[in-house]
Structure 1
Amino acid sequence: MKRTSVLFRATARFMAVLTAAMSIWLAPALAQTAPGRGLPLIRDAEIEGLLRLYTRPIFKAAGINPKSVKVYIINDRRINAFVAGGQRIFVNTGLLLQSTTPNQVIGVLAHETGHIAGGHLARMGVEIDSANYTTIIGMLVGLAAIAGGIAAGSAEAAQAGQGIMAGSQSLAQRNFLTYARGMESSADQAALKYLYATKQSARGMIEVFEKLARENIATLANVDPYVMSHPMPMERIRTLETAAKKSPYYDTKDPAALVLRHKLVQAKLIGFIGGSQAVAQNYPSTDQSMPARYARAIAMFRKGDISNALPIIDSLTAELPENPYFWELKGQALLENGRAAEAAAPLEKAQKLLPNNGLIQILAAQALVDTEKPANAKKAIKLLRQAQRSEGDTPQTYLLLARAYAQTGDFARAELATAEAALLRGDKKLALEKAKAAQAQFKTGTPEWIRANDVLTFAGRD
């Protein structure tokens, strides 16, 4: 019993030290190995459009195809942005809400792009393996010394074995953290390069880093995740600032139009996530700016006050009629308040201003389907098929297709679309039932028959 307890305590200490070292750097990556699973993701055409605007020139400067990188938005008020799962960038709403300029968000995104371009995520796996190897060897040698000391009745030998184990753990931790610090420095330098190439300032990136460095990290519950995954020593920030100030673009300001778009996105987040109370706190009644009105209109229609929301939205579309998201908002407000027929026109306007946006196409299709008119259902089917080109296959799209096909009397395709939706949601029983019903109505060998057969095959797997 005594031998087992000594061995157990030593092993437990080893695991605790290694786990603590790794969690600082890997906790964010582990959280999103399966995008969308367990993460409160937000889909919004306006926010995604703004992030594409921020990242596109940065990606090009880094030699990365903008279409190959996916940017996800997480509903989390803490400041954070990280790379995971290959070419995927995750951005917390907290970064958008707490940033005072577009340049601050752009700077952080430039840093994260540096991680992608540098292949840091893949290389980190190698470093972890190396750290594990170092610790495992040290642990084995240490355990052997402990066992030998106990067998020989020598407490000194056993203590020496524990010392070997502790030394190997410390070495592995130092080696890994040294690599991680180098990785952060490399991403910093890459960000400076991309910002210079796109004639943008690095001031915003430094401002965010300084804000995080000043945070009180005594209580982990109050720490922004970015601090945990991107340690912010002041020496690193000062070095970065010195290099950044050499750029002729250091004092470059964000264009006014970009600042407005940034403020409108913040207003949208406050209106949708924070509600009326948050809107009142951020925008006093005397504030009649466009972002303030935007936030108020959103909060109003979300609580069912459509009569007061619509005049505000109309004032926005009158002031900036070329903004597709104002028309999208009007359509959404009408649709969510049971006025689908009225929602179709503003959503059609939004589509004309922003063609080929899958999210707006799906919303417009929903309005058309909700009118329950066969002519509108045919338009909805066309929109939903177009949306699948950019959005891919989703349960929502197939459910809307099922309703639209049923409204046109095409019950075979309605059954097939229902089967597709069920399969995507993991309801294999319903998928099998509907796919069988659909396949029986299609001629053998047709594309629809083959697709129904595919659903049967996938849904029938254990």
Structure 2
Amino acid sequence: MAARRIIAALCAMSVAFASLTQPVFAQNKGSGPSLIRDAEIESLIRLYTKPIFQAAGLNPESVHVYLINDPRINAFVAGGQRIFINTGLLSQAKTPNEVIGVLAHETGHIAGGHLARMQNEIASKSNIAIIGMLVGAAAVAGGAVAGNGEVAQAGGGIMMGSQGLTQRLVLSYARALEASADQAAIKFLTATGQSGKGMLNLFQKLSQQSMISLRDISPYVMTHPMPVDRIHNLEIAVKGSKYYDTPDKPEIMLRHQLMQAKLVGFMQPTQTVFQHYPISDNSLSARYARAIAMFRSGDTRNAVMVIDTLIRDLPSDPYFLELKGQALLEGGQPAQAVAPLRQTIKMLPNSGLIRIMLAQALLGTENKANAEAALTELKLARKTEDDTPSVYQFMAMAYGQMGDIPRADLATAEAAFYRGDKKLAEEKAKVAMATFKRGSPDWLRANDILNFVNRSDE
């Protein structure tokens, strides 16, 4: 039905993406959109969202935010308490407050149960279209039998009209939900002592762009209708807040700039990075972007030299140490990468992603003692990254280096399972089960994998 297609766009009920296995800043090399994992960016997003979620009465641990590799501005709620945001929103937002405003708006959709309400609305309005289609079809058939072309033509008009009415009704409902999410966002921002200016500025810009050209319209506007009256009402409410002129804190602004530099450094060609952040720019964010571009292009030596200046100038930032470890690891120096990554873990003991990278560096030394240390790191990482395939992939390598082949097979089965490779998961789980004592914890884990694989095939 046409109405269903429109609402699929409005609500962004689903998105095509591929899950990644790399534990550090990573992106899918395929043609479709993908999820990106990065400890620094995820930490910043949690900093933005935690007070907003709490103000909305939501458990911050129950709401998950995912980053999509897409240069366009967009954010949406899908699959319950899940917020998806494009890298384009992060890289184009002029201030942290703009990002926070969008996240507050999306939180309004979650707190208001808008996805479920929209699904119910679609179901109820679809009945109108169905009835109209049946009546129209009957008129077309009757007119054809009677040889009355006017009746048949009128029947076609009824069919088209019923679909148009359904679309208008659902679009009207969607606009009401957007206005409701706006008001909820203002409430959450006020409760946390933050301004809605960033949200207003971004929405005004997107609204103006949509009126100028539909060709380059942001997908955020397509999924979040922005009529003039909505923007006007939002402006009145935002400017009425006592926090309207509250600026972003300098330390948050710096983290925002570093995040944007990281996105440019990792996602743009080296030449583009140096054009955006020329050598004459000695700011932390400029050096950060250039260092990333250097090691990505194979110049590990100069990249590390620049990173060392960042660590010297801002020793409290753990992500400079993380980057040094990553540059050395990807530059073929895993043994040298261990020390900065261990320093990072001391500063960020709960970061599963960084523990995975440390384990990768330890395994790269091909030392049995380091393999045991890597396994310890991976078991700790599993507490927060239990469904990340690379945890089990590196566990398999660790067990292999330690000579524990049965557990290496089991870990390989788990990695394959989380990657969606059911054939390999089943094969390795069977091999592992044959070597473990029946009923033992490892045997039960292998058996669980087999059961899940077989159940998913039903």
Q: Is the 8 A contact 2:18 2:35 kept in 1?
A: no
The match for 2:181 is 187
In 1, the alpha carbon distance for the partners of 2:399 and 2:74 equals 43
Q: Aligned letter for 1:151?
A: V
- Please tell me whether residue 396 in structure 1 is matched to residue 390 in structure 2: yes
Letter in 2 for 1:124: M
AA at the equivalent of 2:14: L
RMSD: 2.0
**Contact persistence 2:353–2:381 (CA under 8 A):** yes
Q: Distance in 1 between matches of 2:276 and 2:72?
A: 17
1:169 alignment counterpart: 163
Corresponding residue of 2:13: 29
Q: Deviations over 1:379-437 (max 9, x none)?
A: 11111011111011332111211111122222221122122223333444433443333
Contact residue 46 and residue 265 of structure 1 kept, 8 A: yes
Of 392-401 and 79-88, more deviation after overlay is shown by 392-401
* CA–CA distance in structure 2, aligned partners of residues 362 and 435 of structure 1: 23
Distance 1:121 1:217, change over 3 A: same
Letter in 1 for 2:94: T
Instruction: Give the structure 1 partner of residue 407 of structure 2.
Output: 413
CA distance in 2, matches of 1:119, 1:243: 22
What CA distance in whole angstroms lies between the structure 2 residues aligned with 1:125 and 1:460? Answer: 31
How far off is 1:144 after superposition?
1.4
1:196 maps to 190
| Overall identity of the aligned pairs, in % | 60
256, 268, 273: which one pairs with 1:279? 273
Distance 1:173 1:329 in 2: 50
Residue 10 of structure 2 aligns to which amino acid in structure 1?
W
Partner of 1:73: 67
Q: Give 1:212's aligned residue.
A: 206
Q: TM-score, normalised by structure 1?
A: 0.92
Measured against aligned partners, the alpha-carbon deviations of 1:246-294 in whole angstroms (never above 9, x if no partner) come to 1110000000000000000000000000132222222222110000000
The structure-2 alpha-carbon separation of the partners of 1:281 and 1:217, relative to structure 1 and needing over 3 Å to count, comes to: farther
String of CA shifts for 1:35-54, please: whole Å, max 9, x gaps: 78964110000000010001
Partner of 1:444: 438
In structure 2, what is the Cα distance between the partners aligned to 1:117 and 1:429? 40
Unaligned runs of 5+ in 2: 21-27
Structure 1 residue 227: deviation in Å? 1.0
| SS of equivalent residue, structure 1 residue 174 | helix
Do 2:68 and 2:84's aligned partners in 1 also have CA atoms closer than 8 Å? yes
In 1, Cα distance between the equivalents of 2:429 and 2:378?
A: 20
Structure 1 position 18 matched with structure 2 position 3: yes
Pick from 292, 295, 318 the counterpart of residue 298 of structure 1. Answer: 292
Residue number in structure 2 paired with 1:322: 316
Deviation at 1:460, TM superposition (A): 5.4
CA distance in 1, matches of 2:414, 2:81: 28
Cα distance between partner residues in 1 of 2:190 and 2:219: 27
Alignment of 1:17-416 (within 5 A): 17-18=2-3, 21-22=6-7, 24-26=9-11, 28-32=12-16, 39-216=33-210, 220=214, 222-416=216-410
Shift, 1:375, TM fit: 1.2
| SS of equivalent to 2:67 | strand
Q: Corresponding residue for 2:25?
A: none
Letter in 2 for 1:181: R
Task: Give distance in 1, aligned partners of 2:16 and 2:110.
Answer: 16
Contact 1:33 1:85 in 2 (8 A): no
| CA 1:236–1:95: 2 relative to 1, 3 Å | same
Q: Are the counterparts in 1 of residues 210 and 221 from structure 2 also a CA contact under 8 Å?
A: no
Q: Residues 218-259 of structure 1, C-alpha deviation per residue, up to 9 Å, x if partnerless?
A: 765522110101122222112111111111100000000000
The offset of 1:378, in angstroms, is 1.1
Measure the CA separation in 2 of the matches of 1:173 and 1:284: 50
Specify the code of the residue in structure 2 equivalent to 1:367: A
Hey, what's the Cα distance between the residues in 1 that align with 2:452 and 2:151?
A: 60
Partner of 2:23: none
Structure 1 unaligned segments of length 5 or more: list them. Answer: 1-14
Structure 1 residue 19 displacement after superposition: 5.7
Alpha-carbon distance change, 270 to 143 in structure 1, aligned in 2, over 3 angstroms? same
Q: Is the 8 A contact 1:33 1:84 kept in 2?
A: no
Aligned to 1:392, the other structure's residue is in SS state coil
Structure 2 CA distance for partners of 1:285 and 1:206, relative to 1, 3 Å: same
- Cα 1:193–1:164 shift into 2, 3 Å: same
Give the whole-Å Cα distance in 1 for the aligned partners of 2:421 and 2:88: 35
Deviations 1:6-65 (A, max 9, x none): xxxxxxxxx5x5366435414x32325997896411000000001000111000000000
Other-structure match for 1:8: none
